[in-house]
Amino acid sequence: MEMTPSHQYSEKLWQEALQHFPGGVNSPVRAFRGVGGTPFFTQRAKGSRLWDVDGNEYIDYVGSWGPMILGHAHPQVVRAVQEAARDGTSFGTPNPREIRLAQLVREAFPSMQKIRFVNSGTEATMSAIRLARGFTKRDKILKFEGCYHGHADALLVKAGSGGATFDVPDSAGVPADFARNTVTLPLNDFAALDTVNWREIACVIIEPVPANMGLILLKPGFLEKLRKLSRESGALLILDEVISGFRVARGGAQELFGIQADLTTLGKIIGGGLPVGAFGGRADIMDMLAPTGPVYQAGTLSGNPLAMAAGIATLEELSKSDVYGKLERRATNLGDEWKKVVKGHSVRLGSLFCTFFTDREVVDYASAKTSDTKRYAKFFHAMLERGVYLAPSQFEVGFLSLAHTETDIEETLRAAVEAVKTL
């Protein structure tokens, strides 16, 4: 007879965490507010699996929200971090690993003629926006409803991710004067793009693979139209590839769709599970940054040797032949069956996947919001009970890794068949 899994120790830690942290967490979606219940505390992770502090095992489709494309505790990454740590954890001087990681990123992203490493995706987008404003001497920026670009003030306007989960599209504490300079438009709305006064726009920022309100695909021609309008008007195009970079292809959406950004932001995968972000692009723009130019940006731990080491090991693994082919084949096996089993409106691009529980076609934030989030929550818990950990929110995506085996996928699909019956 199967034992009901115990969550005793997680429950105990949760009560303690609530004393220490607002809402018990250090990042909101971890609190399971989107699905209810108590989050589990992870003891360790390896490959495709997580083990919680009570010894329960899960097939993990969150992957630390994107970075773990090789799976958890990949031996090369662990070794690289250990070796780097022996040489000291931070120097505050240039170090050789920064150069190696820059080479690996630039090989994959030819549009990034120069690059700067930071410590998170939020820092990358925040700094890229400041740079775009400094370069163009314009204040206004354009973003899209439901796209998440981290939690900098100017970007927390109609943002996705936690904002979507908690239905607080605009954060308290963002001065109206800041938000006024952020123009937002619905995704995939070609006509709306023509209503913008492009000559006052410093930059348009977009997730080329929108993956923070669930997964939404851009209509063919949408990015091209943005590219054209921005180029004609002197606005910069910032492609936020914090999720899509090294995920949907080695060279991200830019490789997949054949489009060039003026500035690109990266994070997640390029840090191999350590805190890293990066922004980069045209050399004439990047040279506006301090110390060569007037746009200030700095970081005590930027280019951190441990983080660079984890990133290098990860990107070197991803440079091997047919890595993305293998990931795509695995993802196809999962995705094709998943669609039949889970139904709803299922979307997949490469190793990213998502199911909206709605009959509507999901093309933007408004249609994503038609999803039955209560049904998602039930499905989430039914899967979790069966040892499969999906994102604890309808408005996040699933991440498949190279460590997921055919057996993992079969197990996942068997769980999904059972879970759907409980809905």
Ligand X SMILES: *Cc1c(COP(=O)(O)O)cnc(C)c1O
| Residues taking part in catalysis | 148, 240, 268
Q: Which of the stretches 35-43, 144-152, 356-364, 405-413 binds ligand X when contact is defined by CB under 6 A?
A: 144-152
Question: Does residue 76 sit in helix, strand or coil?
Answer: helix
Q: Which of the stretches 39-47, 93-101, 237-245, 249-257 binds ligand X when contact is defined by CB under 6 A?
A: 237-245
x/- binding map, residues 254-293, to ligand X, per CB under 6 A?
Answer: -------------x---------x----------------
Q: Which CB sits closer to ligand X, 121 or 344?
A: 121
Neighbours of 38 (CB within 10 A): 15
Name the token pair of 421.
Answer: 């019956």
Q: Which residue has the tokens 């970081």?
A: 299
CA 44, distance to chain mean position in Å, is 22
Window 341 to 400, contacts with ligand X (CB under 6 A)? none
Contacting ligand X (CB under 6 A), which of 95, 125, 314, 367?
125
- Cα-Cα-Cα-Cα dihedral sign, residues 329, 331, 333, 335: negative
Q: Nearest distance from residue 301's CB to ligand X, in Å?
A: 14
Q: In what order do the strands lie in the sheet with 345-349?
A: 345-349, 352-356, 398-399
Give the Å distances, CA to CA, from 305 to 71, 79, 81, 84, 182.
21, 13, 9, 6, 35
Q: Which residue has the tokens 């937002």?
A: 184
x/- binding map, residues 186-215, to ligand X, per CB under 6 A?
Answer: ---------------------x----x---
Q: Nearest distance from residue 118's CB to ligand X, in Å?
A: 9
List the beta bridge partners of residue 193.
none
Q: Which CB sits closer to ligand X, 212 or 355?
A: 212
Name the token pair of 154.
Answer: 């100017």
121 binds ligand X (CB under 6 A): yes
Contacting ligand X (CB under 6 A), which of 10, 56, 122, 412?
122
* Whole-number Å distance between alpha carbons of 408 and 391: 17
Task: Name the residues that contact ligand X, by CB under 6 A.
Answer: 120-122, 125, 148-150, 207, 212, 240, 242-243, 267, 277
